């Protein structure tokens, strides 16, 4: 935190800025002896804490040692959190104070609203919100609140993690597919949204064939929009893991891949998919069909290694070498 941010005692609310008063200069804290941090007699690299930080945390250590749970102690935790939102001990002690004082937990949710606004990628504040929702057993505001965060950062890991926890814990699946589809339509590359779609499907279906067919069609339509979109290709593969026919025998996928290839598409994801299809379709008896499929996969590995996915050339050369061995073995049978 910069010093200018530290001066904003009310978590950055522009209309409520007040000057920071050191705790040692506050009359209500005159009965507490601050407890300095003990870095040992010969600290190797001393951190240059600001005066505000050192003052607040010296008083926090004092009340932590004494076990004081009061309104002023609660206010002190807020100051300490604002100075360092990642301090687990302060958050934990704040929760202990909330319980001891039987505070209004809905007000605490509003507090986390403000803190997440300024620390949206901080694990501790999200964990604190999770605990408060668990205590309340009321997720009524969670999905709408998370949407406001995702509107600013659609790939915020902590927001998605909290959303999945909320949905799974309180069975809030009803309209999630529609929401996720909206996000994918807005940004087809949003891997977090694709992951959320898989999460919902996994937890609400048994991957019946009609579900698999529907999701395969959905993925293929999005691939058609952006053929190099890794998220959609990965989703397609994930869905086909649940198909008893496998990747190699899904005619819809095979025909689509052949069509894209014939039209000149050479994205590494398409070529990798064709390689997998060829390998999966290869029978083990070494007949002409097997040799043909292996040879196609071998040539595509060389294309990827030398032209379309050169950053992973070692991987594709390795796959090609394994195919060459199989090609030689099958030819001799």
Catalytic residue ranges? 121
* Eight-state DSSP code of residue 306: I
3-state secondary structure (DSSP) of residue 153: coil
Cα–Cα dist 261/247, whole Å: 17
* DSSP states along 23-59: GGG-GGGTT---------SS-SS-----HHHHHHHHH
Spatial CA neighbour of 220 closest among 270, 182, 175: 270
- Check: CB of residue 329 under 8 Å from CB of residue 303: no
Cα–Cα dist 303/271, whole Å: 9
Spatial CA neighbour of 83 closest among 107, 118, 117: 118
Cα–Cα dist 319/315, whole Å: 6
- Check: CB of residue 220 under 8 Å from CB of residue 236: yes
Cα–Cα dist 208/212, whole Å: 6
Query: Cβ neighbours of residue 122 under 8 Å, at least 6 residues apart?
Result: 85, 86, 115, 116, 158
User: How many residues does this entry show for the chain?
Assistant: 333
3-state secondary structure (DSSP) of residue 18: strand
CA dihedral of residues 143, 127, 191, 204 (deg, nearest 10): -60
Q: What share of the chain is helix, strand, coil (3-state, %, to 5)?
A: 70, 0, 30
């Amino acid at each position: 935190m910069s010093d200018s941010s530290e001066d904003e005692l009310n978590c950055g609310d522009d209309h409520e800025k007040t000057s920071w008063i050191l705790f040692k200069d506050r009359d209500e804290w005159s009965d507490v002896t601050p407890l300095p941090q003990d870095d040992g007699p010969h600290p190797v690299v001393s951190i240059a804490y600001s005066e505000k930080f050192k003052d607040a945390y010296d008083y926090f250590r004092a009340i932590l040692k004494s076990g004081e749970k009061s309104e002023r102690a609660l206010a002190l935790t807020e100051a300490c959190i604002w100075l360092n939102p990642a301090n687990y001990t302060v958050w934990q002690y704040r929760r202990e104070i909330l319980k001891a004082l039987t505070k209004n937990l809905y007000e605490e949710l509003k507090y986390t609203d403000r803190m997440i606004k300024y620390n949206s990628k901080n694990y501790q504040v999200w964990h604190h919100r999770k605990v408060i929702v668990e205590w309340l057993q009321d997720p009524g505001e969670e999905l709408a609140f998370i949407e406001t965060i995702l509107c600013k950062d659609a790939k915020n890991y902590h927001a998605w993690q909290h959303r999945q926890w909320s949905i799974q814990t309180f069975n809030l699946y009803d309209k999630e597919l529609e929401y996720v589809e909206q996000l994918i339509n807005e940004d087809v590359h949003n891997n977090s949204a694709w992951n959320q779609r898989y999460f919902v499907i996994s937890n609400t279906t048994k991957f019946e064939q009609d579900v698999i067919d529907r999701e395969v069609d959905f993925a293929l339509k999005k691939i058609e929009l952006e053929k190099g979109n890794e998220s959609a290709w990965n989703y397609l593969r994930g869905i086909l893991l649940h198909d008893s026919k496998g990747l190699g025998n899904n005619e819809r996928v095979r025909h689509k891949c052949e069509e894209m290839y014939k039209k000149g598409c050479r994205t590494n994801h398409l070529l990798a998919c064709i390689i997998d299809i060829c390998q999966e379709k290869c029978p083990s008896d070494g007949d002409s069909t097997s040799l043909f499929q292996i040879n196609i996969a071998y040539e595509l590995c060389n294309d990827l290694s030398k032209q379309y996915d050169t950053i992973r050339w070692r991987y594709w050369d390795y796959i090609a070498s394994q195919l060459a061995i199989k090609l030689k073995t099958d030819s001799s049978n």
